[in-house]
Amino acid sequence: MATAQTALPPRESRSNNRGVTPRWARALIWFAIILITFWILYPFVWAVITSFKTQREALEPSVIPFLQFDPSIENWSAELGLGGRETALAIGNSIAIAVGSTLLATFLGTLTGYALARFRYGIGNRNVVSWVLSQRFLPPVATMIPFFLLIQRLGVIDTVQGMILVNTTFVLPFAILIMRDYFADFPEEIEEAALVDGASPLQILLRVALPLAGPAITAAAIICFAFAWNEYLFASVMAPNKAKPYTFLVASTSTVRGVHFGYLATRMLIAITLPVVLSLFVQRYIVRGLTMGAVKG
């Protein structure tokens, strides 16, 4: 028995061996990381390379510039030069629609989220939240005809104002849910202290809750902006001419002669530039907004 006990390794070495990851496991993890990174970045790399190809070269499996093909700025010149007016109009419409929808949805979502977090309603707050969440599961195409008739009756068909109203309907649930989760976790003691000092409920909202809810409001606004910027389905039916957004222009690269991959890649890069730049500046708020309320003590 004594010989068996002396043969066992010390307890410290056994605990250290448990925490060491085998080489084959580390190699497998790095292989998975590289594979996932390649899968994510491949569309963007393809777009950058294809945007400097002619239509004939875009159909060929060439990747390395100056060796397999000669780079050309023909697509960029056509998009920003001769087609610059149409491009500027479409980008301006997209910015106006996205910003307008974001401001309206964030304003309404903040008030609604605060009300759901602080007050109780007869039909049940959980039922209201479930109904708001169900609006994201509703297929947008199912509401296209009713929205078209409503916008037509209001006289805002093919206008930026009409598209703002439509887009606000679909991004509003994001703002409501994010702000509701934030205010639900917000310490009520702070508001009670302000109430003791003589502040009214409106003053508590404007001077206490909203200033401290800046990160959540920013997260809600950026998420709403991203979804409103990417809207295409309703724009293709309700705003195909004067108020067409840039996503509609991207889809127009498909013609009866086929898809012009050079234009498609160029317009795709232009379309993602603004959301990507915004996400780089406010990425910490986006992550906080997406994870807010996910873990509760």
User: Mean of the pLDDT values across residues 81-87?
Assistant: 71
Crossing angle of helices 23-50 and 261-281, rounded to 10°: 120
Examine the pLDDT at 105 and tell me if it is beyond 90. Answer: yes
**Residues 75, 52 contacting (CB under 8 angstroms):** yes
Please report which confidence band the pLDDT of residue 20 belongs to, taking 50, 70 and 90 as the band edges.
low
**Residues 90, 84 contacting (CB under 8 angstroms):** no
Please report which confidence band the pLDDT of residue 95 belongs to, taking 50, 70 and 90 as the band edges.
very high
Of the candidates 122, 127, 123, 110, which has an alpha carbon nearest to the alpha carbon of residue 177? 110
Examine the pLDDT at 34 and tell me if it is beyond 90. Answer: yes
What one-character-per-residue DSSP string does 98-125 give? HHHHHHHHHHHHHHHHHHHHH---TT-H
User: Mean of the pLDDT values across residues 32-50?
Assistant: 90
Of the candidates 174, 38, 200, 169, which has an alpha carbon nearest to the alpha carbon of residue 97? 169
The more confident residue out of 22 and 292 is: 22
Structure confidence by residue, pLDDT tens digits, 175-234: 998 888 888 887 878 888 888 888 887 888 888 888 888 888 888 898 899 889 988 888
Examine the pLDDT at 297 and tell me if it is beyond 50. Answer: no
Number of CB atoms found within 10 A of residue 18's CB: 7
Crossing angle of helices 214-229 and 283-291, rounded to 10°: 100
Q: Which domains does the chain have, with CATH numbers?
A: 22-82 (no CATH), 83-291 (1.10.3720.10)
**Tokens of residue 265, six digits:** 């890649």
Amino acid symbol at 120: R
Structure confidence by residue, pLDDT tens digits, 145-175: 898 999 989 888 889 999 999 999 889 998 9
Count of alpha carbons within 13 angstroms of residue 121, beta-carbon side: 12
